[in-house]
Amino acid sequence: MSLKVIQGFVLIWLFFSCNNAVSVPENTSAEVSDSSTLISESQSVEVSSTAQEMPDSNAKVVLAVLGVMQDGGRPHLGCEKSCCAPETLQNMNDFLVVSLGIFDREHTQGYMMEATPDFVPQWRKFKGIFPEITLKTFGGIFLTHAHIGHYLGLAYLGKEAFNAHATPVYAMPRMAEFLKNNGPWSQLVANENIELRPTAHNDTLQLTKNLSVIPILVPHRDEYSETVGYQIIGPEKSALFIPDIDKWERWDQSILELIQQVDYAFLDATFFDGKELDNRDMSLVPHPFMVESLDLFDTLEISDRNKVYFIHFNHTNPVLDADSQAANRVNLAGFNIAQQGQLFGL
């Protein structure tokens, strides 16, 4: 081969490997598409058997990953590292704050987990996947807790923005009291932009014939509200969503048993390990480090490990780079890194 031909190959290889390192493909087509394709295109390592995440076209309920980041988002205010540099992050909407969209196709009804500071682009993505959804007929929003990444987006339902009429907001008792008694949220309640729907720990909320949701209390820094995760149950499959929790061992429930009971588990992966923040005392922001979760979940069968989709990444988390050693380690152990735009049939 001539030198020019070899140089050509190297350039093509560089182009694709750089693209893989920085971008997460997203799916905004109206069709439910093969999310395992999304994974294999964005990761160079062999991926665990995730074929079951492809929602078959008959799935009555579909779950869409609308965001994967921790509360502060990406780009993160003040971050001058490569994770948030303009060269690395070309599109501001590629990594939105953690949220799930759930759509019951049979009843044409949609729900969202969390109202994040990225609520507006997130809603557009949700509607891009399921054009039948409208804000007027929207089934509602489920809140986990009163940290900024999880409820600030409610503001866009108010007078200064959409001026919604009675959008259902599902919240636990302390969370609901917090919204009722503190501005600007109290104005949303008083103006009936939102309608608070009370929820209770372990209490099943039947949303449609095909879909129910169960809030589960988890330990977290509960300054303004309690914190819950959710079990989301469709006609065929169920998912667990726990974006924030202090440490697995501080919980009175067994995460291993819960993973065994569901089909998908979207779990707190804020930090990869204890060395990640150089300017903050990490004991003040406790989360299960991914390396701790990998150790704890190591006893699970491979089929159970394949159910785990790590989510809620701090901008510093190295797994955001699909070609990093950290991401390879997670994938090779049989776990998944949630990608914005992934779809799952429930």
Query: Which positions touch Zn ion (CB under 5 A)?
Result: 71, 76, 79, 81, 83-84, 147, 149, 244, 315
Q: Is the peptide bond before 75 cis (omega within 30 degrees of 0)?
A: yes
Cβ atoms of 116 and 67 within 8 Å: the answer is yes
CB of 228 to Zn ion, least distance (A): 11
CB of 313 to Zn ion, least distance (A): 10
CA pseudo-torsion sign 273, 275, 277, 281: positive
Q: Closer CB to Zn ion, residue 71 or residue 104?
A: 71
SS3 239: strand
What is the C-alpha radius of gyration for the chain, rounded to an integer number of angstroms?
20
CB of 79 to Zn ion, least distance (A): 3
Q: Closer CB to Zn ion, residue 195 or residue 323?
A: 323
Fill in the amino acid letter for 267. Answer: L
Number of H helices, E strands in the chain: 10, 14
CB of 149 to Zn ion, least distance (A): 4
Q: Closer CB to Zn ion, residue 82 or residue 134?
A: 82
SS3 34: coil
Cβ atoms of 232 and 342 within 8 Å: the answer is no
Q: Closer CB to Zn ion, residue 26 or residue 244?
A: 244
Q: Closer CB to Zn ion, residue 237 or residue 315?
A: 315
CB of 118 to Zn ion, least distance (A): 13
Q: Closer CB to Zn ion, residue 81 or residue 124?
A: 81
Q: Is the peptide bond before 219 cis (omega within 30 degrees of 0)?
A: no
SS3 16: helix
Cβ atoms of 152 and 184 within 8 Å: the answer is no
CB of 346 to Zn ion, least distance (A): 23
